[in-house]
């Protein structure tokens, strides 16, 4: 069996379950060459996502009318996340902000050792907790913001300021070529604090977000180190971003079709 990351393995478990009608922890551990503890984590996570029902020693499918598709980052977002993971070294202390593109970074952390990861997202925290090679996990705490589905506010800012980090990985709703990254969310102060306490700030986003006109400035170019996006970004736009002293890393565009 080819070794798979967590997300790939869980998709394969669902596919196998739908084919066979029942799976056991022991059989899955052998098939995927991993521990029974890891498989139990997989089944618990898949049950939480509404994709199966756990039974003693294994799992059975949900009734078809109740099943929902496994949600996650797009193929293009995963390609961007894979490139971002190349910047992470073992034992780094990193912040991962909430967002669908940053969520794609989590499975990549399985290949790293000794990481300390801070996040303000419950979704990301749960995904990190499910990793086989689980890093040390820190949460900002603070006030829950239902719009961004993350913790914000002064308490979260105070927690962040008590640490120093090697890297921040953050998404964006848009890019203003003159000013920096932009967002629909008016709560931008926590993002600025995240950048303040990080030596390297890596922005991860798809190139089509460049076309969005969004009034709220999130991070000015002065706080950003690197932008990772897909190669649909025009060479003119890339040159303008580089002109602000920003490293631009491009990945081949991956279509979901």
**Cα dihedral angle (182, 224, 105, 205), rounded to 10 degrees?**
40
> What pLDDT score was predicted for residue 160?
96
- Model confidence pLDDT, tens digit, residues 117-147: 999 998 899 889 888 888 999 999 999 887 7
Is the confidence at residue 209, as pLDDT, over 70? yes
**At residue 150, does pLDDT exceed 80?**
yes
Higher confidence at residue 53 or residue 251? 251
pLDDT for position 56:
82
- Given a contact cutoff of 8 angstroms between Cβ atoms, the answer to whether 62 and 52 are in contact is yes
Query: How high is the pLDDT of residue 187?
Result: 77
* Average pLDDT rounded to a whole number, residues 140-162: 90
Which element (helix H / strand E) includes 256?
Answer: none
| 204: β partners | 228
Q: Distance between CA 42 and CA 110 in Å, rounded?
A: 14
Residue 64: its pLDDT value, please?
54
CB of 74 closer than 8 Å to CB of 256: yes
Domain 75-251 has CATH 3.40.50.920: no
pLDDT, average across residues 26-32: 92
Does 248 score more than 50 pLDDT? yes
- With a cut of 70, say whether residue 3 has pLDDT above it: no
Q: What is the pLDDT of residue 4?
A: 61
State pLDDT tens for residues 169-197: 999 999 999 999 998 777 789 999 999 99
Distance separating alpha carbons of residues 202 and 193, to the nearest angstrom? 14
Overall average pLDDT of the 98-123 stretch = 93
The pTM of the full predicted model, rounded to 2 decimals, is 0.75
Q: Taking the CB of residue 96, how many other CB atoms lie within 10 A of it?
A: 28
Closest CA to 11 of 71, 57, 56: 71
Mean of per-residue pLDDT scores for the chain: 89
- The Cα–Cα gap between 149 and 90 comes to 29
> What is the radius of gyration, based on Cα positions, of the chain?
19
Residue 162's pLDDT is 95
pLDDT of 130 reads 82
Tell me, what's the pLDDT at 86? 97
Name the pLDDT band for 211 (thresholds 50, 70, 90): confident
The answer to which of 2-6, 131-135, 144-148, 223-227 has the lowest mean pLDDT is: 2-6
Q: Give the domain 6-66 fold.
A: Arc Repressor Mutant, subunit A (1.10.10)
Count the helices and strands in the chain (H runs, E runs).
9, 15
Provide the pLDDT for residue 71: 55
The whole-number pLDDT of residue 68 equals 44
Taking residue 68's Cβ as centre, other Cβ atoms within 10 Å add up to: 9
List alpha helices for the chain, DSSP H. Answer: 6-20, 25-31, 36-48, 75-85, 100-103, 122-129, 154-161, 189-196, 235-243
Domain positions in the chain are 6-66, 75-251
* pLDDT tens per residue across span 48-97: 767 788 888 899 887 654 444 445 688 999 999 999 999 999 999 999 99
């Amino acid at each position: 069996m080819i070794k798979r990351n967590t997300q790939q393995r869980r998709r394969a478990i669902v596919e196998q379950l739908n084919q066979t009608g029942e799976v056991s922890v022991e059989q899955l551990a052998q098939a995927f060459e991993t521990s029974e503890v890891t498989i139990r984590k997989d089944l618990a996570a898949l049950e939480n996502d509404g994709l199966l029902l756990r039974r003693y020693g294994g799992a059975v499918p949900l009734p078809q009318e109740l099943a929902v598709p496994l949600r996650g980052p797009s193929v293009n977002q995963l390609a961007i996340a894979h490139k971002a993971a190349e910047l992470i070294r073992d034992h780094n202390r990193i912040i991962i902000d909430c967002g669908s593109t940053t969520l794609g970074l989590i499975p990549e952390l399985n290949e790293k050792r000794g990481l300390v990861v801070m996040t303000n997202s419950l979704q990301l925290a749960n995904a990190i907790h499910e990793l086989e090679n689980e890093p040390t996990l820190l949460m900002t705490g603070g006030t829950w913001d239902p719009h961004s589905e993350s913790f914000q506010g002064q308490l979260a800012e105070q927690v962040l300021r008590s640490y120093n980090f090697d890297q921040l990985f953050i998404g964006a709703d848009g890019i203003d070529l003159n000013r920096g990254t932009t967002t629909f969310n008016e709560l931008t102060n926590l993002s600025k604090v995240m950048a303040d306490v990080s030596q390297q700030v890596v922005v991860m986003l798809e190139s089509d977000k460049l076309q969005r006109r969004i009034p709220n400035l999130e991070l000015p170019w002065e706080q950003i180190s690197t932008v990772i996006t897909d190669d649909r970004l025009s060479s003119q736009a890339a040159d303008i971003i580089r002109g602000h002293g920003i490293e631009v890393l491009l990945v081949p565009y991956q279509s979901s079709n």
